[in-house]
Amino acid sequence: MLLAILLGYRSAAKPLRAVENGIYLLKAQDFGSRLRKTGQADADHVIELFNRLMDSLKKERLKNLEQDCFLAQLLQVSPMGIAICDFDGNIVQTNPAFDKIISPDFLAELQNLKSGQTEVVRQGSSQIFRCSRLSFMDSGFHRPFFIVERITEEISHAERDVFKKIVRTIGHEVNNTLGSVSSVLETLSDIHAAEPAVGAAIGSCRDSCAKLVSFVKAYADIVKLPDPVLADVNLAGELGTMMPVLKGLAPDNVTVELAVEGVGDIRADMMLIGRAVINIVKNAVESIGARPDGRITLHVNGSRLHITDNGPGITDEVARSLFTPFFSTKCADRGLGLMLVADILRAHGARFSLSTDHVTGLTTFVIEFQPAV
């Protein structure tokens, strides 16, 4: 009887001990260890099932770890901004691309998006983004996340292509037509040389034709903007040599000054950058107008340039339309100045914006150049 009890205990105890050991390994999440067979059929059956389970768990955990590592690396190097939220919609994790883009106003735009919605958002005056609010399943619930894609270059290229086609078409038609008209006007001028009134009318028509040719040529010059020849240049030093020219653009009521906080070299074609800076300063001078205490400050800090003026500023509505073809707040400008500046800076890979600080009232053109290699 004692022998039967002992055998019964052993047959029950070994499987129980195997189960206890397996539970201990599961609690410790030790998926690399395995239970050794005991020679008892029932216990060995339990052990075999457990070891197979541990093999499956180990493979699954390894697969998840590899996928998590891959996704983490993908998030870090992705050019798109990605922000993951908690279940309440609060952002708890972001990647470097998102951190470079985000600002309080931009974050408010994102929070207004509904689940599954995609919108094009303009940040500042020169940056355009495609923003999406999506979700993924986490613990059986939908967890939101944001994807922000910079599409400034796509939009600007599309606008520029349309602009080029329009300019080429207008230039071709206008030049061909005005060539014939000018020839006829010259002949009429010779015929009516003895008639002052008729000659004056013909001369006025010829002047109008010349102005129209100049008008079209101004747009054609934008289209023919050369590619930049990049070199390492000292931004502060180059602007220092330009100061006499920049001061010459301003009337007596406007002071133009240069402030240098940090010196650094940038990759740039200073012939083109000089044209851009001159256009920015001219716009600032025109904005200040007759204000008696006008001031324009060029502030250099490493590879960053801030051009600030104390003119009347620009509204948020105007800021959203800047740097686009044919847009201008000045009738005579035709929108060429800022469009030329934008094309030059984009060709340099520079980031830029133009806005008015609602607290100080100062308007600042911010340019961040590519630093020298």
d(CA 327, CA 320): 11
Provide the 8-state DSSP code for 39.
Answer: S
Average pLDDT over residues 121-134: 77
Pairing assessment for the beta strands 91-94 and 81-85 based on DSSP bridges? antiparallel
Close Cβ partners of 43 (under 8 Å, ≥ 6 residues apart): 14, 15, 17, 18, 37
SS3 content of the chain, % helix, strand, coil (to 5): 50, 20, 25
d(CA 240, CA 235): 9
pLDDT tens by residue, 12-28: 566 666 666 666 666 66
Q: Which residue has the tokens 């010259």?
A: 186
Q: How confident is the model at residue 124 (pLDDT cuts 50, 70, 90)?
A: low
pTM: 0.54
- Angle between helices 196-223 and 152-191 in degrees, nearest 10: 160
What CATH superfamily is the domain 231-368? Answer: Histidine kinase-like ATPase, C-terminal domain (3.30.565.10)
Pairing assessment for the beta strands 254-263 and 231-234 based on DSSP bridges? unpaired
pLDDT tens by residue, 148-184: 988 766 666 666 677 677 777 777 677 777 777 877 8
Provide the 8-state DSSP code for 371.
Answer: B
Q: Which residue has the tokens 């129209």?
A: 212
CA nearest to 258, candidates 235, 285, 229: 235
The pLDDT assigned to 331 comes to 46
CA nearest to 213, candidates 165, 166, 176: 176
Close Cβ partners of 170 (under 8 Å, ≥ 6 residues apart): 216, 219
Q: How confident is the model at residue 298 (pLDDT cuts 50, 70, 90)?
A: very high
How is the chain split into domains, by residue range? 2-76, 79-150, 156-223, 231-368
Which CATH code is given to the segment(s) 79-150? Answer: 3.30.450.20
| Residue 341 and residue 278 in contact, taking contact as beta carbons nearer than 8 Å | no
